[in-house]
Structure 1
Amino acid sequence: MTFPRTPFHTRSCLVHQTLISAERLKENLENPDWAVVDCRFWLAEPERGERDYRRAHIPGAVYAHLDRHLSAPVIAGQTGRHPLPEAATFARTLSGWGIGAGVQVVAYDDSGGGIAARLWWMLRWLGHNAVAVLDGGWTAWQGRGYPVRGGEERRSPRPFTPRPRPELLASAAEVERLRTDPAFRLLDARNADRYRGENETIDPVAGHIPGAISAPYAENLTPEGYFRPAAELRARFSPLLGDTPPARTVVYCGSGVTAAHNLLAMLHAGLGEARLYAGSWSEWITDPRRPVATGGE
């Protein structure tokens, strides 16, 4: 089964569900039914993204902090580094950002969409499909000389009703079962060296989940930081998936953030909607009974 790529027509408006260009965003910058969210974040310097936002951002954008807004508190020994918040908690956050029914959301960052894709996926997880990642991100916006603004911005709150889609998630127990099942695919979105266990600088255990296939999210991008054309993304993922449909494909990364980049790329390519193991590698290794592999597979 295939899914439509963005944009597509509804009866009332043009909705963007995967990627959007800087030009298209600029055309709608004054539209109150469009909400822009700045997701810039640096793992090694967690407050840098917000400082950069206050210095300059796309006019009207609110700021989403990966640790505070897009994640729940970490529980040592139980969760990964960026556990998902409760649906009701995140719905209140979205409401405070002025996001509700009928609002087109545009998320951006300065890292090729690696953080913005997390917000994109979370909105889809709660049933809000009118969300797209700004292709080329902050760099594309600045490079065109489009307007920017400093300080902090707020939008008038709107009611957000979550409609969770549990079928988009996979738990550690499910991953344990499916990783050896040939009817399923498990993709690792981290860099290939981390997958092999050769350069682990973030998590205390190196390697990957046995049975996983290396599929670094960075390979979805051109050297200029834009997503590759849909046809190229299809050509990239089709051999990785084989005969396995996306509905039986699970993607993970270090903490459930950049894995969403692969989910976005597959949907944009028209391949369908895969699942996220949100706890990812950093949750997997909290239980020493879970197996770990190194090298290639």
Structure 2
Amino acid sequence: MPSSSFTTTASDVFETGKYKAALRRVEASATQPPSSSSCAPADPPPKPLLIAFPAEDAGEFPVLVFLHGYLLYNSFYSQLIRHVSSHGFVVVAPQLYTVAGPDTTDEINSAAATTNWLPRGLADLLPPQVRPNLAKLAVAGHSRGGKAAFALALGKSTTPLALPFSALLGIDPVDGMDKGKQTPPPVLTYVPRSFDLDMPVMVVGSGLGEIRKNPLFPACAPRGVNHADFFAECRPPVCYFVAEKYGHLDMLDDETEGLRGKATYCLCKNGRAREPMRRFVGGVVVAFLRAHLEGDDVGLMGLRDDGHKVAPVELQKVEFLL
């Protein structure tokens, strides 16, 4: 059996898992230095990567591709992806861009290219005893990255996917500024249960995301283009969680450095602290991946039945369509 196989409960997903998770940064092919070195990957990825993986245990582990939010750095999710990895997953977080306009086409195609690179290069970047299982592959994204994840799963990339995804996760996904002001290419159709997705889906929302921080800035997850609208278009099987008193960026690291890092505290309505929301998001991601990649649904069904009791945040909504 793979070393990641063990039973998950409804509460232990919110705690650090049994694996010691490590992080590795990898430069993209276009950013490699002119002179090659022994530590440079033989087949560098199309985009810079932050990879979280179980560092010390031997085994075969499922893989999650995680797409960052608008104008955010993948490093801002270090604590979140390490939490997920500590439960027996390899998490690959590409830096899709550093500057971008409203059109998401390039980042969707970059996410597709990164996914297609995984069979060629991922194993070489991991310890020899850590084997990525690309037959168990999921995609997740936060904010605009959530939109990109849905777009990728819906086949909207012009770069054809060489690998199929087995599960899709939207972490407070956002499809623009407002209904009728979606960023191209639009994902939401406003037709209930219209997403033609041959995979299970989880949508996680923030209760404060649709509230403005102040009158000078729009809400970070506006009504009409946020998690509620994505959930409304998902067909079963889909599960839906909304954390009531937490904001759109509250799953980021406690410390996000630089100008962009400081801006994450200023632009969106926030909860009292990031740690509870980050632990909640990490936990539901683990439970969902366990259920749909590993066949262990004990944790996910436990959250359906007792999520209000065991979650580290107050839940505004828990809904499952099976």
TM-score, length-normalised on structure 2? 0.29
Structure with the greater relative contact order (CA < 8 A, sep ≥ 6): 1 or 2?
1
Higher strand share: 2
TM-score, length-normalised on structure 1? 0.30
